[in-house]
Amino acid sequence: MKDLPNKIQWHPAFYAAVELEFKEDVRELNLTEEYNLSKKPICIDLLIIKEGDRDKILKNEIGHIMRKHNVLEYKGPDDELSIDTLYKVIGYACLYKGYGKTVNEIPAKELTVSLFREAYPRKLFEELEGEGYRTEKKYSGIYYVFGMQFPVQVVVTGQLEREAHSSLRVLSDQVDIEDVRTFLKNTGGMTDVRERKNVDAVLQASVNANREVYEQIRRDSIMCEALQELMKDEIELYKKKSREQGMAQGMAQGMAQGMAQGMAQGEAQLIRNMHKNGLTLEQIMVISGKSEAAVMDILAGKEPVVEAV
């Protein structure tokens, strides 16, 4: 479908994935998206402030380097992670310190910088080593940079351990189906509202960027059930609206056939609304339970098929 949106919103999905990564400690963290450094439009992708004990080691490996104030920069699949990017983020951290309300309110020793990208930034590491900095692979996909003003780590999400970091690994435009399988398994039992919203945000970006992979998943009955389970609240909401709209129109018509026609039209309108709001073809198919052909017909303006009553 050429008219479906192709601009993937990677950053909101990254924020959600980070929350899922730190779910064991998230109640003790204050995460601020696009933290404004000043009145001008200069902002940090994600700022994490430890609340309480700043020396507490977070359970997630990505958080082992973190102190009280932590500046995170995320680069999507098509974005470059260069040495200039690193210095820019170091600059953000310096500005963040400098904009404290009182002198030295944010001590430099309590600041860290983390950069995230799916692919290994080979050129960046070569340039850092050429400038006299030392890089060390601390964990799978997690590299520390020594010698800079603040503790710095580069997180290569494509190299992270699959089981422990599925939330970040599925943020890819070439996602591995095993990563999706692991993500669905790891998040399937989550019931907390905040966690469910984060799962939805991650899935939204991943599905939009990997339609063919998720079409394979849709044909896999077990994985499709897991995907539907994760999206059940959204599915039920759309179904409820569809029933309510259809019944209202059907009652006005006063006949069973009219009710069926009304429900079909209501469902068709919801499908059009989902498309208008940016849902992908695969998502619409999962939520509505309709085939690709049926959804395409509705979006093309054809009258919905009325089931026999």
pLDDT along the chain (309 residues), means of 10: 64 95 95 83 92 90 97 96 96 94 94 98 97 97 97 98 97 95 91 92 92 82 63 61 59 46 69 75 75 84 61
Query: What CA–CA distance (Å, rounded) separates 76 from 8?
Result: 9
| Sign of the C-alpha dihedral computed for residues 218, 76, 61 and 46 taken in this order | negative
Domain 10-228 has CATH 1.10.3470: no
Strand pairing of 69-74 and 142-146?
unpaired
Token digits of residue 44: 């940090």
Closest to 27 in 3D by CA, of 46, 61, 50, 47? 50
Tokens of residue 252, six digits: 């006005």
The amino acid that residue 220 corresponds to is D
Q: Cα–Cα distance between 121 and 63 in angstroms, integer? A: 20
Q: In the 8-state DSSP scheme, what is residue 208? A: H
Residues with Cβ within 8 Å of residue 10, at least 6 apart in sequence: 74, 76, 77, 171, 205
Domain extents for the chain?
10-228, 232-299
**Which uninterrupted H or E stretch holds 70?**
strand 69-74
Question: What Rg, from alpha-carbon coordinates, does the chain have?
Answer: 23
> Sheet containing 142-146: which strands, arranged edge to edge?
29-36, 43-50, 69-74, 111-117, 152-156, 142-146, 134-139
- Say which residues have a Cβ less than 8 Å from residue 270's Cβ, sequence separation at least 6: 238, 241, 242, 245, 288
64 with 41: CB under 8 angstroms?
A: no
Tokens for 206, please give them: 């991943």
Tell me if 132 sits within 8 A of 147, measured CB to CB.
yes
Residues 293 and 265: beta-carbon distance below 8 Å: no
Q: Pick the closest to residue 156 from 41, 61, 89, 261 (CA basis).
A: 61
Per-residue pLDDT at 95: 94
pLDDT at position 245: 63
DSSP alpha helix (H) spans, the chain: 10-21, 83-98, 122-130, 166-169, 177-187, 193-209, 211-219, 221-230, 232-253, 256-276, 281-288, 292-299
| Total residues belonging to the chain | 309
Structure tokens at 135: 């890089």
Give the global pTM: 0.72
pLDDT score, position 288: 73
Separation CA 25–CA 57 (nearest Å)? 10
Report pLDDT for 32: 94
